[in-house]
């Protein structure tokens, strides 16, 4: 799986013109770093809370996050969603490492082993989520079942293709499927960020407790469809200098997105992820 092209380090052969090129590159790196740190905090929360309370024999506390995640009389679908939690946490932690070009080039054996764990985790997250949908259905009903069902099926497809293309030695295609898979896995994290942004901007217009609002309906697909479009553009992108005004404008947008992610992560961590993380590990009530 060790191809020489880097995904996150991919830059133009010649540095883009002077200060505006540097501003764009550094703002892109800042955005990537903020997203990775935020995703890692979300993953740590998932592993500590959902894993911690289950190990402590109190898996029914999953329902403090969303009603009916744990159902003692439906062991199969409960086990499926539990496996999906653990696999999802692993995906968010491992994804960034797989994208670092220098790791792939210098330690290809590590890239291959982490790649196998990543692909198995993606399969488990997708199949576990699908098992839960088939067994019990989502809180939001048929539309949410459809949106999340397609999400799960796409994740399994991309994981299988990324693995198969690597085994076949087709590294360009492997890279393309791996980028698609990564775009899907960050969707679960982006879902929370996008809701956070919406509540901040509108106070939650179009949302309802059973996910029956019009904004909820859009979000059932919006957390992965745009990411896939960006991934397709990225796979086909040819880098070139677009001039100072466009570069500074793009850098400003990236910096604004970074600032928002830092704010949203701090807010989620202070209000929800942090206290639940501690509660999952120490068994303390919230
Ligand atoms: C990186 C991958 C993933 C992560 C980190 C993740 C994380 C989570 C978490 C933390 C929850 C609990 C609800 C909450 O606390 O908000 C959840 C619920 C759920 N996830 Fe995922 N997930 C991932 C991928 C998937 C995939 C691929 C599917 C597709 C089938 C899926 C389907 C579901 C379903 C159906 C629920 C329950 C919703 C309900 O109760 O109605 N997830 N996920």
For every residue of 126-154, which 3-state class applies, written as one string? HHHHHHHHHHCCCCCCHHHHHHHHHHHHH
With a cut of 80, say whether residue 2 has pLDDT above it: no
pLDDT at 187: 93
**Ligand 1 mutation pick, 188, 193, 228, 272, max ligand atoms within 8 A of CB:** 188
**What mean pLDDT do residues 174-190 have?**
93
**What mean pLDDT do residues 190-197 have?**
91
C-beta 195 within 6 A of ligand 1: no
| CA distance between the termini of the chain | 44
Phi-psi region of 204 (alpha: psi -120 to 50; beta: other; left: phi over 0): left
pLDDT at 44: 96
Q: Which atom of ligand 1 is nearest to the CA of 137?
A: 41
Q: Which atom of ligand 1 is nearest to the CA of 65?
A: 15
**Minimal-distance CA residue to ligand 1 atom 14:** 65
pLDDT at 177: 97
pLDDT at 64: 94
* Cα of 189 from ligand 1 centre, angstroms: 10
**Minimal-distance CA residue to ligand 1 atom 41:** 138
* Cα of 102 from ligand 1 centre, angstroms: 31
Please give the C-alpha separations between residue 152 and each of 42, 84, 124, 125, 128, in angstroms, as whole numbers. Answer: 19, 10, 10, 8, 9
pLDDT at 8: 45
* Cα of 128 from ligand 1 centre, angstroms: 9
pTM of the model: 0.88
C-beta 255 within 6 A of ligand 1: no
Identify which has the larger pLDDT, 202 or 257.
202
**What mean pLDDT do residues 181-209 have?**
93
Percent of the chain with pLDDT strictly greater than 90: 70
Planar angle of CA 178, 238, 6, nearest 5 degrees: 40
pLDDT at 239: 65
C-beta 91 within 6 A of ligand 1: yes
Give per-residue pLDDT as tens, 244-283.
Answer: 888 888 889 889 989 988 998 999 999 999 999 999 999 7
With a cut of 50, say whether residue 3 has pLDDT above it: no
Identify which has the larger pLDDT, 285 or 221.
221
**Minimal-distance CA residue to ligand 1 atom 19:** 129
Give per-residue pLDDT as tens, 21-40.
Answer: 888 889 888 988 888 899 99
Residue 5: pLDDT band (50, 70, 90) is: very low
pLDDT at 12: 44
Please give the C-alpha separations between residue 171 and each of 1, 99, 157, 228, in angstroms, as whole numbers. Answer: 7, 14, 17, 20
Per-residue H/E/C for 262-276: HHHHHHHHHHHHHHH
**Minimal-distance CA residue to ligand 1 atom 17:** 85
C-beta 77 within 6 A of ligand 1: no
C-beta 39 within 6 A of ligand 1: no
pLDDT at 157: 98
Q: Which atom of ligand 1 is nearest to the CA of 89?
A: 5
Residue 26 to residue 257: CA distance in whole angstroms: 13
CB-based contacts of 60, cutoff 8 Å, min separation 6 = 70, 72
Phi-psi region of 199 (alpha: psi -120 to 50; beta: other; left: phi over 0): alpha
**Ligand 1 mutation pick, 44, 95, 125, max ligand atoms within 8 A of CB:** 125
pLDDT at 13: 41
pLDDT at 16: 54
pLDDT at 250: 86
Whole-number average pLDDT of the chain: 90
Give the CA diameter of the chain. 64
Going by the DSSP 8-state scheme, the letter that residue 51 receives in this structure is: I
Identify which has the larger pLDDT, 264 or 17.
264
């Amino acid at each position: 799986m060790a191809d020489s092209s880097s995904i996150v380090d991919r830059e133009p052969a010649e540095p883009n013109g002077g200060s505006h090129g540097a501003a764009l590159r550094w703002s892109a790196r800042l955005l990537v770093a903020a997203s990775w740190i935020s995703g890692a905090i979300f993953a740590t929360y998932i592993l500590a809370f959902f894993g911690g309370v289950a190990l402590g024999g109190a898996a029914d506390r999953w329902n403090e996050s969303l009603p009916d995640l744990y159902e003692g009389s439906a062991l199969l679908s409960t086990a499926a969603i539990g496996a999906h939690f653990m696999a999802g946490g692993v995906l968010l932690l491992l994804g960034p490492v797989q994208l670092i070009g220098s790791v792939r080039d210098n330690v290809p054996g590590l890239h291959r082993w982490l790649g196998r764990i990543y692909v198995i985790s993606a399969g488990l997250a997708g199949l576990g989520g699908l098992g839960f949908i088939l067994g019990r259905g989502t809180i939001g009903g048929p539309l949410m079942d459809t949106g999340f069902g397609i999400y799960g099926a796409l994740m399994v497809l991309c994981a299988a293709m990324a693995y198969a293309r690597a085994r076949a030695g087709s590294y360009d295609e492997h890279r393309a499927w791996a980028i698609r898979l990564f775009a899907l896995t960050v969707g679960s994290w982006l879902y929370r960020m996008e809701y956070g942004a919406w509540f901040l901007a509108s106070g939650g217009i179009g949302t309802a407790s059973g996910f029956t609002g019009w904004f909820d309906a859009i979000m059932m697909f919006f957390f992965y469809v745009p990411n896939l479009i960006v991934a397709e553009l990225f796979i086909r992108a040819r880098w070139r200098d677009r001039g100072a005004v466009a570069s500074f404008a793009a850098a400003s947008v990236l910096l604004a997105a970074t600032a928002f992610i830092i704010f949203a992560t701090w807010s989620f961590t202070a209000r929800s992820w942090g206290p639940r993380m501690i509660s999952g590990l120490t068994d303390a009530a919230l």
